Amino acid sequence: MTTETGTWRLLSRTAGSRVASACTWPPRDRLALTAGLAAPFLAAFALVPIRTDLSHTNAALLLVVAVVAVAALGSRTAGALAALSAAAWFDFFLTQPYETFDISASADIETALLLLVVGVIVSQLAARARRLEVITVTDAAHLSRIHRTADLARSAGSADTVVDHVRRELTDLLGLRACRFEYGNLLGQPPRLHKDGSLTAGRRPWDVDAAGWPEGEIELRAYGNGHYLGRFMLTPGPGPVPPLRSRLVAVTPADQTGAALDAAGPVSQG
């Protein structure tokens, strides 16, 4: 077995293990993995009629375009798989001897390896750009929520209006089944959502990202001018636990509620 053949087998086993572990991924990611295998194959196959007139460098660049398209739509794993697929089909269809995974010219070997390396790097950058775009959109939506609540807290004639608004915001933001507000004294020791997005249950840290929401209602306290004024009681919904970013954002409307209650005075809290 040649060194080149051994390298392809090692890369193929690595990619195969990633694909096997992806069986529980969302449909979009599974589709991206399929595209990672198919798109470079189709691109390389389409170049077969003109492979004698097309330089190997230009052919490799065209295959990189396919890799970038897959990475932009899918995950890093899909992009890496597309890069591996592009290098393999470049070898198979576009280098001599054709229709084999052997390369006779050292320049073609270098081009195939560069295609693999460049494809992996570009795919990672494309996937990262897509992730940053999602984060930017998400953060913009979170910021809009905070601004809406702040504007309402300044203009609302009743603190109860702010409470009702924040209940709806928290329900949507955290994917809750229900959310209610309790004024005044603390009763019992339900699990608690803290300002840093962490949870405690029975005064012990609760790894919400690993274990999911604890059972029962979860309290999110509202303070005004340093004084406890009430708490939102959160009933988790059936969906996944919201990410830390969402849990951190949830604390701000609760604080704005506390400020509105403090400004309204004890009459509105009763």
pLDDT tens, residue by residue, 120-158? 777 677 666 655 554 454 566 666 666 677 777 677 667
Tell me how far apart the alpha carbons of residues 25 and 112 are, in angstroms, rounded to a whole number. 30
d(CA 248, CA 245): 5
Q: Give the residue-averaged pLDDT of 225-241.
A: 89
Closest CA to 68 of 135, 121, 11, 132: 121
* Class of the domain covering 156-269: alpha beta
In this prediction, residues 193-217 reach a mean pLDDT of 89
Q: What is the pLDDT of residues 57-115, one digit of tens each?
A: 888 888 888 887 887 776 677 878 888 888 888 888 888 888 888 777 777 788 888 87
| pLDDT score of 55 | 85
- Give residue 181's pLDDT: 94
Q: Please say whether the beta carbons of 173 and 242 come within 8 A.
A: yes
State mean pLDDT over 254-269: 73
What 3-state class would DSSP assign to 268?
A: helix
- Residue 17 above 60 pLDDT? no
Domain boundaries in the chain?
A: 3-133, 156-269
Q: Looking at residue 18, what is its pLDDT?
A: 45
* pLDDT over 70 (residue 11): no
pLDDT of 143 reads: 65
- Distance between first and last Cα of the chain: 82
Range with the poorest average pLDDT among 38-47, 214-223, 236-245: 236-245
| Distance between CA atoms of residues 63 and 57, nearest Å | 10
pLDDT for the residue numbered 19 = 45
